[in-house]
Structure formats: structure tokens, C-alpha cells
Structure 1
């Protein structure tokens, strides 16, 4: 395959990955069933609706690799230059301001307006909870914080990824110095920060984006071949799926409500993400080579809109569709999950 054909092939895979991973994030942000008090982040509910809660929890843990893979792709794309690096970095920071920061502000202002409109219509509605707003003590700073996510999740919480990605882009000159002069020590430092969940004194909401962005850049600059064989992909997918299934079943052996056990389970989940990144990338490579993948890839430009618009829309869809569920059985709960 010549160079231009190879890049076109990778471009198609990236478009497929964007669509598939964002769809995974939408499923992830379904959160708990309306009739369940056990959040899927803890695992399945061993006492009630075991099948339905397992499906929800397994899909959630599986797609925890979505943000790391999207971040890896972003780093690989951002540092794809061959000449005048400082000029290229400066230009790309400016472009990311329009493609990341401006949508961050606009969509969060919209979500904030929806939250206040809902409170005006239904001040006691449970639908207000996901917005995470203290309406009784809301001031100007709270509004700025809710939009920009300075000390909290943005009001449209899915934009934490966009917020952290933009901050990562802002520190890209520092990352470039690390990549040029101490690439492996830099990776080690960021890896330790990621494992320890160290946010650099609140600069980042989570360091997943920073670490995997750096790994993507490192792979690009080191000339790492972005290919994963299908046989290797199948093996990695199997191992990753088994690990995430075990994580979803963890409440059988652990108590996620205990801080020490929860931290251990969180560490296990975090350490499995690099495996999920490679497995999911290999799957996207395979999918992109099919007619289905070609069709999916055409909607790559729609992925950001889907990511931006799915909350708060999903909480209203969940509320409306739950009223149509004829019986609170596992099958109907899973149907509601998929439909929402």
C-alpha cells in the first residue's frame, strides 16, 4: 500500500472510531436504570435484576476505553507535522480554540438554560439532579464554573472530555519539549500521574486525556505502525471483554461502597484501559475495511454533534420511555436501555 492510500485508510478508520466510540459514550451515560439504586459504576446488582444490571455495567466498563482511544487519536493527529513544529503547534492551538473551546461554551450555556427552564416549570423534578446545580446558591461564579468546568464537571458533563482535551492542547508546547528531549521519562511521569489519578492540582478533571494524548503523539513521532492484526485483535478483545465482565461481577466478591475496595476496583479498571484502547482500535481497523464500516465512517463528522447533544436529551428520553415500559423485567429494562 502506498503512503497516500495508507493515510486514506487510516483516515477512514479514525472516522469509524469516532462514531463507534461516541455511541459507546452515549450508552455509558445512560447511567442507572430508573428502578435501580445501584449505579453501574459499582458493578451489577447481585440482588435485583441481575441480567439487566450486568448488561448496563459491562457496556459501561467496556467503553471506559473510549475516551483514552479518542485521546490517543487526537494526540496522533495533533503532532502530525514534519517542519516548523512551533509554528504548527501555535496554529493548531488556535484551531482547537474554535473546534473545542467555542462548542464547550455554547453547548454548556444551552444546557444551563435548559436546567433553569426545567426548574421554572418543575422545581422538584428528579430530572434536575444530573445537572449538578445548587440552584439555591447559584451566582455568577457558579455559572462560569458550570460552563467552563473550572473546579467541577461542566453542566453538560460529557464536555469534561472536550474541556480536558482543550487544556491538553494548551499545554502541548510543554508536551512537545518532553517528546523531543525526554520522551520515555515524560511518558513514565504522565503514566504515574494517571495511575494515581493526580490531576495536577485541578488543572485537569481526569488525566486520561493528557496521558493518552501524549501516547498518541509519542507513537506518531516514533513512527509506530498503527496496525493491529485481526488475530491479535480478537485475542485482545476476548481478554478485555472477560476482564470487564469480571469487573461488572465484582460485587459478588467485593463491596464497592467501602472506600479501600472501591479504590482497588477503580485501579483494576484503569489499568485495563490500555488493553481496551488497542483492542478497540484493532476492531475499528477491521470494521473500516468492510462495507458496514465504510457506511459508518461517512457519519464521522456527525460524531461530535452526537457527543454534544446526547445530554441532557437522554435524561428526558429515559423519563418518557420508562412510562411506556409494561413491566419491570430484565428484558424490558434492557429494551429501555437500548431504546434510550
Structure 2
């Protein structure tokens, strides 16, 4: 039976060193694309194959971040404690502070920002391209924009938190499944993810599978880092899968290799956490940056979208400028977010803890 690495801190530190790199991947994933939508129409790169080829590779690497975050969340939710009604209620109270309050704050804040900006002529083109005029929304539509009932919430990256909250509520069912029919449920969820067969958009198949997988590992008392035994030889198949995936997608043959690529990449990311944690210099800096990862996650949108629109409006739409925007914009956004996090941590630490769920 798999066993956990010696020392509780070692296990958690390896997860901690992954948080900031995974957030960087998410920012790059959201910065991809060769189109920007404005109120007066869209601007798009006509000959986008070169750029799309680069983004397929980088985007495929970045796609491992979301399932890995869900797997980490499921693992940490169930790790180290029996499950009972009392524990379930305590965890719900804890997640209300760490998930629900930040979810409501950031979506309400962005809703207010967009509502104001839509009425300011110089800003309106940056906010009206994809959003209905907020002055025309019905009460249900307003609630839907904030909570993401029928579509993404207005701060669309918070679909992750929305699905995570639902999975937390469902956790007694996941615990029963992991205790009594673990492999049947894991096989069914894996098939649903691979073949895109799923009855409901919320929570989606991918979050459910990987949250369950992390829960399964924790409930069984196993370690996420049993993948260490696979070794670094998986790097070669991962590169080959990336090359084949790029060719497949550019040829318009679909995404059949995407899920195998993500699975191998996820294992490599867990393996890489050992190398990162073994370097004291890297470990200390990544753990420190990890404390700001939720804040970066929360503020990177709409900053990335606005930055892309400003760049696409100001610069000629060529492959070089679009690639440069894709490379540089996430660095600028992450840098600004880290500065803002440090400032808030000095001038309003209590407020910062509230809006980041105590992180």
C-alpha cells in the first residue's frame, strides 16, 4: 500500500511550492487567444497559425493547473481526519470563510466596476464587448452574473471556487464512494472526463474527477507523491505528446491527445515538487509567493483581458506583437498583483485576509 512521505510538513511544503507556479500557468492560459472583443466589434489576428501553435503547447502545459488544484483541494479536505457530521459542519463553516466570502466579494466588486465603467465613454469599449449592458439586466440576471448559476460568474475565474464549494457540499457522498465503491466511481468519472459525457455543467466532470481523486488518496491514507517512483522518464513522452497535440489541433483533428497530455503533465508537476522543495532557496521563495497566489488568482482578471484589449488596439495585429503581448502581459499583471498584495498586507492586513479567505 502507498505510504506518505516522512513528516507531515514535507508533504504540505511540496504542495505549497506548487501553488504559485500553478497560478502563473493559469494566468498564461487566460492570456491566450488572438481575438479581443470591443463594443464596436472584434479585432483578430488573421494569420494566427504561428501564434496558435505556440499557445497550443503552452496552453496544454497550463491546463494541468486546474485539475491539480482540484486534486490538492480534495486531498487537503479529507487528509488527517475521520469524517463525521460534526467534522462536516466544521469544514463547511471553515470553507464559508475561505471560499464563499472571497467568492462573493470579488464578484460583487467586479460587477460594480463593470456597471460603472459601462457608463463612462472612454472605458465603455473595454467592458461592453462581451457583457450585456448592466442597466438592462433583470434581478435574476444580476444574481446570475454574481453567482454563476447558468454560466460563468462575472469574475469568470471564480468558476473554480463555485465548483469547489459545490464539491465541498457533496463531500459526504464522495466519502461514501471512496470508502465503499472507490474504483467503480473513479473509473466512471475518468470515462466521463475523457469522453466528455456529463449530465450537468456545474460541477463539471474535470473538477469532480480530480477532487474525488484527491479525496480518494487522502481517505485511503495514501500519498499524492507515490508518483515519485515513476521517475523523470515521463518528461520524454510528455514532450512527444505536446508535439503530437499541436499537430493534431492545427490540423483540425480535435483534442484526442489533450487528456493523456494533461495526465502525464500532472504527474510530472507532482514529481517536480520534490526537486523544488529540495532547494532551500527555491522552496522558501515559492512558499512565500504562494501566500499571494489566491490574490493573484482573484485580480488577474479583468486585468489580463483589459491589457490584451489595450495592446490589440494600440499595436498592429501581427504575429510578433500578439506573441509579445502573450509573453509579457502575464508577467506585468502578476508583478502588479504581487505589489498590490504587499501593500495591502502592510496597510490593511485584516481586509486582505478577509478577501483572500484567510490565506
Which bracket does the TM-score occupy, shorter chain normalised?
Answer: 0.7 to 0.9
Find the counterpart in structure 2 of residue 257 from structure 1.
none
Shift of 1:316: 1.9
The one-character-per-residue Cα deviations of 1:72-114 (angstroms, maximum 9, x if unpaired) are 1111111113345432222112211211111111111111122
Find the counterpart in structure 2 of residue 160 from structure 1.
159
Equivalent pair of 2:118/2:133 in contact (CA under 8 Å)? no
The one-character-per-residue Cα deviations of 1:140-169 (angstroms, maximum 9, x if unpaired) are 111111111111111111111111011000
Find the counterpart in structure 2 of residue 304 from structure 1.
294
- Distance in 2 of aligned mates of 1:279 and 1:157: 28
CA 1:304–1:199 in structure 2 vs 1: closer, same or farther (change >3 Å)? farther
Provide the secondary structure at the position in 2 that maps to 1:249.
helix
Find the counterpart in structure 1 of residue 65 from structure 2.
66
Equivalence map 1:171-320=2 (5 Å): 171-204=170-203, 206-227=204-225, 232-254=230-252, 261=253, 265-290=254-279, 291-320=281-310
The one-character-per-residue Cα deviations of 1:254-297 (angstroms, maximum 9, x if unpaired) are 2xxxxxx5xxx244323432222111111222222222233112
Provide the secondary structure at the position in 2 that maps to 1:272.
helix
Find the counterpart in structure 1 of residue 31 from structure 2.
30
- Distance in 2 of aligned mates of 1:182 and 1:231: 26
Equivalent pair of 2:60/2:261 in contact (CA under 8 Å)? no
Find the counterpart in structure 2 of residue 115 from structure 1.
114
Moved more, 103-112 or 228-237: 228-237
Provide the secondary structure at the position in 2 that maps to 1:88.
helix
With the length of structure 2 as denominator, give the TM-score of the two structures: 0.79
Provide the secondary structure at the position in 1 that maps to 2:47.
coil
- Distance in 1 of aligned mates of 2:133 and 2:233: 47
Equivalent pair of 1:104/1:163 in contact (CA under 8 Å)? yes
Equivalent pair of 2:34/2:48 in contact (CA under 8 Å)? no
CA 1:85–1:135 in structure 2 vs 1: closer, same or farther (change >3 Å)? same
- Distance in 2 of aligned mates of 1:81 and 1:107: 31
Equivalence map 1:66-145=2 (5 Å): 66-83=65-82, 85-122=84-121, 125=125, 127-130=127-130, 132-133=131-132, 135=134, 137-145=136-144
Equivalent pair of 1:146/1:153 in contact (CA under 8 Å)? yes
- Distance in 2 of aligned mates of 1:167 and 1:124: 34
Find the counterpart in structure 1 of residue 353 from structure 2.
none
Shift of 1:23: 0.8
Aligned length: 318
CA 1:70–1:306 in structure 2 vs 1: closer, same or farther (change >3 Å)? same
With the length of structure 1 as denominator, give the TM-score of the two structures: 0.83
Shift of 1:306: 0.7
Find the counterpart in structure 1 of residue 9 from structure 2.
8
Find the counterpart in structure 1 of residue 40 from structure 2.
none
Equivalent pair of 2:103/2:161 in contact (CA under 8 Å)? yes
Q: CA RMSD in A?
A: 2.9
Equivalent pair of 1:230/1:286 in contact (CA under 8 Å)? no
Provide the secondary structure at the position in 2 that maps to 1:315.
helix
- Distance in 1 of aligned mates of 2:158 and 2:72: 17
Equivalent pair of 1:62/1:241 in contact (CA under 8 Å)? no
